[in-house]
Amino acid sequence: MIWLTWRQFRLQAWVIAALVAAIAVALLVSAPGLFDVYRDTGMAACTGACETALDAFKSEVGNSAYFAVYLVGSAAVLLLPALIGVFWGAPLVSREFESGTHRLVWNQTVSRGRWLAVKLAGIGAVAILAAGLLSLVVTWFAGPIDRAGDFGRVTPLLFSARGVVPMGYALLAFVGGLAIGMLTRRLLVAMALTLVFVVLSQLAAPYGYREHLVAPATSSTGFDAERIASLWINQANQVHIELTAPERSAWVLSNVTVGPDGREYSGPVDPTACGRAGGPDECHAWLAQQGLVSEIEYIPSDRFWALQWREFGLLLVTAGLLSAFCLWWIRRRVS
């Protein structure tokens, strides 16, 4: 049964293996040069105020081949679950139904439950291995850029392309595609719905449950013009102010500037100080006198691994429940 599974699955496996190997080789070849730049600009040894080293590193890497490889590697980790779900999971059973070969396959000495269990275990393990290897190399290579970039690895843009979470998404995509193919029994329909399923599952975390998996940190500080991240004033003299988070690589959940009454401050501002007659310095000085307080809720980068393992565990549980459903369905409901 294991040999038969490999014979049917080997083409898809070799395609993904070639993709992972090509990206891994590109990252490994580029890594020495990137880490030399990281060391030579002083970023590697910097522990305090790193603005000079940071600017030098970003200037040298920003338009280089290193950054292009970084983008390709990160994108590949994010896209891999979709490829696994669409091309591994969705066709596994739907193709058998559409071609009618399921009648022959399930009338042999191997029961349909065992047939599916072997495929779930074998192909699922390969999906985890492929995603794990690619994520391992990308996470290692991207370390310097993630530290120096405007987005930290804990932020939604990068979180799903780092650490152990990609393995969970790869397994969930495979099992989800299998379940969808089993229910629809149509190959193209199953592939399309699986793609939607994978996209929604990856969006559900940053816009749904992820922020609740760890306790956020909070910051409450007075208005500081040097920390202004966003400030705009409309024609009605209403103002919106956001200050930078205490940690530049943090995932900011909420960023509100409140007035003395404890409510979000929206003005109106002094049209003289903050209008055309005034300038930025006058406006900032006037705002500093209004008793404003910046309240920021954020997830710091040092909670990255706690968040990774908890989300990974949640993905494993979900994939396990879907696997149990598939095994029940194929034994009880499929004829």
Q: For the residues of 249-272, what is the DSSP string, one character each?
A: TSEEEEEEEE-TTSSBP--PPPTT
- Cα torsion 35, 36, 40, 46 to 10°: value is 20
Q: Residues 14, 155: one domain?
A: yes
Q: Is omega for the bond preceding 268 within 30 degrees of 0, making it cis?
A: yes
Sign of the alpha-carbon torsion through 111, 113, 115, 121: negative
* Bridging pattern class, strands 239-243 and 228-233: antiparallel
1 pLDDT band, cuts 50/70/90, is very low
Question: If pLDDT is split at 50, 70 and 90, which confidence band does 2 have?
Answer: very low
Tell me what pLDDT residue 282 has.
Answer: 87
Tokens read off for 207: 């816009």
Q: Does pLDDT of 125 surpass 50?
A: yes
Residue 1 domain flag: no
> How many whole angstroms from its chain centre is CA 214?
16
Q: Are residues 257 and 323 in the same domain?
A: no
Does 179 map to a domain? Answer: yes
Domain count, the chain: 2
Q: Residue 296 and residue 56: Cα distance in Å, rounded?
A: 29
| Structure tokens, 154 | 């804990």
Residues 165 and 99 in one domain: yes
181 has pLDDT over 50: yes
Determine the Cα angle at 49 with ends 279 and 57, to 5°.
95
Q: Quick one: which of 158, 144, 201 has its CA closest to 308?
A: 158
- 132 part of a folded domain: yes
Residue pLDDT, tens place only, 201-230: 999 999 889 999 999 999 999 888 888 888
Residues 198 and 64 in one domain: yes
271 and 316 share a domain? no
Q: Quick one: pLDDT band at residue 191, thresholds 50, 70, 90?
A: very high
Does residue 34 sit in the same domain as residue 56? yes
Same domain, yes or no, for 170 and 292? no
Please check the confidence at residue 198 and state whether its pLDDT lies above 90.
Answer: yes
Residues 200 and 93 in one domain: yes
Within the chain, how many helices (H) and strands (E) appear?
11, 5
314 in the same domain as 237: no
Domain assignment present for residue 246? The answer is yes
Query: pLDDT tens digits, residue range 255-292?
Result: 999 998 888 988 788 888 887 666 788 888 888 898 89
List the beta bridge partners of residue 232.
240
Angle (CA) 19-20-21 rounded to 5° is: 90
Same domain, yes or no: 281 and 317: no
What is each CA distance from 279 to 223, 266, 292, in whole angstroms?
A: 18, 19, 19
Task: Say if 122 falls within a structural domain.
Answer: yes
Residue 147 located in a structural domain: yes
**Interatomic CA distance for residues 41 and 140, integer angstroms:** 19
Average pLDDT, the chain: 85
Same domain, 177 and 243: no
Domain membership of residue 245 as a residue range: 217-301
**What is the pTM assigned to this prediction?**
0.86
CA distances from 190 to 102, 142, 173, 300 (A): 17, 34, 12, 39
- Work out the pLDDT band at 95, boundaries 50, 70, 90: confident
Averaged pLDDT for residues 120-148 = 90
Residue 321 CB burial class (10 angstroms; 0-12, 13-18, ≥19): exposed
Asked whether residue 327 is domain-assigned, the answer is yes
Contact 26/138 with Cβ under 8 angstroms? no
Do residues 245 and 317 both lie within one domain? Answer: no
What is the C-alpha to C-alpha distance for residues 55 and 62, in angstroms, rounded to an integer? 10
Distance from the Cα of residue 318 to its chain's centroid: 18
Ranked by mean pLDDT, the top range of 16-30, 59-73, 112-126, 145-159 is 16-30
- Going through the chain in order, the beta strands assigned E by DSSP cover 217-222, 228-233, 239-243, 251-258, 293-299
Q: Assess if residue 3 is contained within a domain.
A: no
